[in-house]
Structure 1
Amino acid sequence: IETVIGCGECDACKRGEENRCRRKYKAIGYQYNGGFAQFILIPKEAVKQGCVIKVPDQVSFEEATIVEPFSCVINGWYPFKKREPGFTTVVIGAGIIGMLHVEYAKQMGSRVFLVNRTSPRLILAQKIGLPADEFIDASKDDPVKRVKELTNGLGADVVICAASSKDVQREALEMAAVDADISFFAGLPKDDSNVLLDSNLIHYNELHIHGANASNRKQYLEALNLIASGRVNVKKFITHVFPLEKIAEAIKCLEDRTQNAIKVIIDPWM
């Protein structure tokens, strides 16, 4: 079920970009009840918009849980996905979102460096076979300096901020190449979102900074197709499955870094 429900009448909705709805979209899990149940009521507006999407037989329900976050990743690439293969991408943050960004960057023909501030997460990413070309441990190496070393001093063509951090946003500008695209994909806390940035880096290096918010039906279908076709194997991300009555335990598992959780699933039928 696509979670984003637009007004269906504005220019963005008519283009199939309901996540950019001019009248502010509503979402399942926010304005409508979410999916932690065996059965849920789908709003009629969602049915009319085409939010009910058939899952192919070759895709398990567990794999289908990756479609929503993967579609958001694809939306994040929307402003710059026409780059020619061979460009360099840096993804900062090795959570499920960062890992999916690595997967999509490889689909776009990019060389990819994954940066994270703790080494266990990078070790886990390598263990599951994440296809990054370089794994940069920011607790040991200066990520900006390391990216410059790996790119002959040029910097990265695309930088994805997949961690909610002001320092990450500042570092993104410093490691970016001239004419680079930078995605502030991960938002900051609403009560602490002001960041001091060197605007001269943006000005003189002609940097392009993009936001990213939710996704739309077209991106759900693209994500589902990448999974169904086998081009992106998402099974490796599913580390834990809990029944509905153990939802509190599932949340604790996700928060406990010693559990090495990537994608934690609630199965109401378990």
Structure 2
Amino acid sequence: MHIDLSGKTALVTGSTAGIGFAIARGLAASGAEVVLNGRGEARVDAALAKLKQAMPNAKLRGIAGDVGTVEGCNDLVTALPEVDILINNAGIYGAQDFFEISDEEWSRYFEINVMSGVRLSRAYMQGMLKRNWGRIIFISSESGLNIPTEMIQYGMTKTAQLAISRGLAKLTSGTGVTVNAVLPGPTMSEGVEVFVKDLARQNKQSEQEAAANFVKQHRPGSLLQRFADVGEIANMVVYVASKEASATNGAALRVEGGIVDTIA
């Protein structure tokens, strides 16, 4: 199967590093014109330069803006009025004691992880429906199904994304537009690499041992028994964004290495 996204414009929020950057790279490699996004100009410019160096012929743009705010979303839509593919990837996470999470922190997680995707989908989806083609993909998490006790505020946002993506998919009935969610599991992004290196130093292990032990201890149900690579997550997203995935709609697609212990 050859995925060709030539002539399509894709916006990937939170794409200056990690899974978002890998998704942007995968979409660009498939011929799409890709718009990278991050909160600051410097990080967007650096990511853009890195991707251009790796893919000199790729069609790339960068737009800085904090999609966790109303103003940031509005500015982004003003700069980019239409897209064919929207990847709602921007998000934050972090371990916190439930009894110490303030109302403001709950709201911050909801604004960044949930409302960014709501606002951008609202802005771009009607154009997709009029053109009778489009892809909206929410980057959720296995934590939306297996709510982690150390990150309840994060798990809540990832469950919300599943509800929103399914509801939006119902609005596409009979059209060429699809809305799906992709659920990664533990993934070796830049932030996780730093965490694993620190863990290895603390336990006097190699980084490979530290990573493997972490998965066994904290995700014992993993069939993969390792962290996924960001490229493995991106591969699923690129497929779902393709013309070939036209019959996949309203789905929660798991790329979590078999952690979720259910058939459906």
Whether these two folds match at TM > 0.5 is: no
Q: TM-score, normalised by structure 1?
A: 0.43
Q: Which structure has the larger Rg over C-alpha atoms?
A: 1
Q: TM-score, normalised by structure 2?
A: 0.44
